[in-house]
């Protein structure tokens, strides 16, 4: 949405404050602290040379492990700019019962680790796979709340078993809400599509023939204030996609593709 939330302190600023509270007496510069400072400077210059050094990126692993047992909470309606919608949903599963929430959390965790190794600062909308929610309006607002350059919302689809492949959903124009992110999010969608293709994944053979679909009915997209896309990485009901989604190696491959897309978007 266009309206900006600026009530939350910058996480970077919070980190600085917690390390060096203002007004703390300056420590005496002993040989040991001088060595520590020199070492810190070397570490900082190494970190600065990493391709995503200091860039903040938000990830949204879709759904949550506790949603299925808290239906009253997740069925509560929230406003998403042009309609009211359920706070969240349970998500889908493979035909053998592997749940979407576990898939999205695993992929997001791999994306986070890979981005951090490249120097990025990464925040996720949920830090465990056992909680409830958060609601889609808060997921959407999350990227701006943590001052991220972009947000990727990670999902798996539950379509007819003959369908397979990934597609990226990007926000369409919802006046007063997505005006500020339509262009950037489209560029992000193109980058994510190319990143997933670069690791050999195929665009979906259904729903969005070129791998990108415009949506104006998704809270995660409507309520965003930084470039945001939602990606259905595969069809969990399709046996080939499900086999990939249920293995660690397969999920790491999705993660590599998403990181390649994020890097393409950032030009790093």
Q: How many CA atoms lie within 13 A of 166 on its CB side?
A: 27
Name every residue whose Cβ is closer than 8 Å to that of residue 265 and which is 6 or more positions away in sequence.
150, 187, 188, 191, 192, 227
232 is known as an active-site residue: yes
Residue 30's SS3 state is coil
Among 100, 157, 180, 232, which one carries the catalytic annotation? 232
Bridge partners of 123, per DSSP, are 58
Selected range binding Zn ion among 58-66, 68-76, 170-178, 252-260, rule: CB under 5 A? 58-66
Separation of alpha carbons 71 and 59, rounded Å? 24
Q: How far is the CB of 154 from Zn ion (least distance, A)?
A: 8
Helix, strand, coil % (nearest 5) of the chain? 40, 15, 45
Helix (H, G, I), strand (E, B) or coil at 123: strand
Paired strand residues for 212? 168
The number of residues that bind Zn ion (CB under 5 A) is 3
Q: Which residue is nearest to Zn ion (CB)?
A: 155
Closer residue to Zn ion, CB minimum distance, 52 or 212:
212
Of residues 138, 216, 124, the one with CA closest to residue 177: 216
Write down the least CB distance from residue 64 to Zn ion, Å: 11
Residues 89-108 vs Zn ion: string with x where CB under 5 A?
--x-----------------
Interface residue with Zn ion, options 62, 99, 143, 234 (CB under 5 A): 62
One of 114, 145, 155, 193 touching Zn ion (CB under 5 A) = 155
**Binding region for Zn ion (CB under 5 A) out of 34-42, 111-119, 149-157, 237-245:** 149-157
Instruction: Please say which residue, 62 or 171, places its beta carbon nearer to Zn ion.
Output: 62
Judged by CB under 5 A, the stretch of 25-33, 46-54, 62-70, 167-175 that binds Zn ion is 62-70
Nearer to Zn ion by Cβ, of 63 and 263: the residue is 63
User: According to DSSP H, which parts of the chain are helical?
Assistant: 11-19, 31-48, 71-75, 100-117, 136-145, 182-198, 219-222, 239-245, 248-266
Kindly list the residues in this chain that would bind Zn ion in the complex (CB under 5 A). 62, 91, 155
Q: Which residues are catalytic?
A: 232
């Amino acid at each position: 949405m266009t309206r900006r939330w600026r009530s939350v302190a910058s996480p970077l600023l919070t980190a600085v404050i917690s390390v060096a509270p203002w007004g703390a007496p300056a420590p005496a510069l002993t040989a040991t602290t001088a060595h520590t400072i020199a070492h810190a400077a070397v570490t900082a210059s190494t970190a600065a040379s990493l391709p995503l050094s200091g860039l903040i990126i938000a990830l949204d692993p879709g759904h949550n492990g506790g949603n299925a047992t808290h239906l009253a909470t997740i069925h509560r309606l929230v406003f998403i700019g042009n309609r009211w919608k359920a706070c969240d949903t349970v998500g889908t599963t493979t035909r053998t019962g592997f749940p979407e929430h576990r898939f999205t959390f695993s992929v997001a965790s791999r994306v986070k680790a890979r981005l951090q190794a490249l120097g990025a600062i990464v925040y996720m909308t949920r830090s465990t796979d056992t909680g409830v929610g958060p609601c889609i309006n808060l997921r959407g607002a999350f990227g701006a709340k943590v001052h991220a350059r972009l947000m990727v919302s990670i999902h798996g689809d539950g379509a007819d078993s003959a369908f397979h492949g990934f597609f990226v959903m990007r926000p369409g124009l919802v006046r007063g809400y997505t005006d500020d992110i339509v262009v950037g999010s489209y560029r992000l969608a193109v980058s994510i599509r190319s990143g997933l293709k670069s690791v050999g994944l195929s665009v979906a053979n259904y729903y969005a023939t070129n791998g990108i679909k415009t949506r104006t009915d998704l809270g995660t997209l409507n309520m965003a204030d930084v470039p945001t896309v939602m990606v259905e990485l595969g069809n969990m009901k399709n046996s080939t996609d499900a086999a990939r989604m249920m293995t660690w190696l397969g999920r790491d491959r999705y993660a590599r593709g998403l990181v390649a897309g994020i890097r393409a978007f950032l030009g790093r």
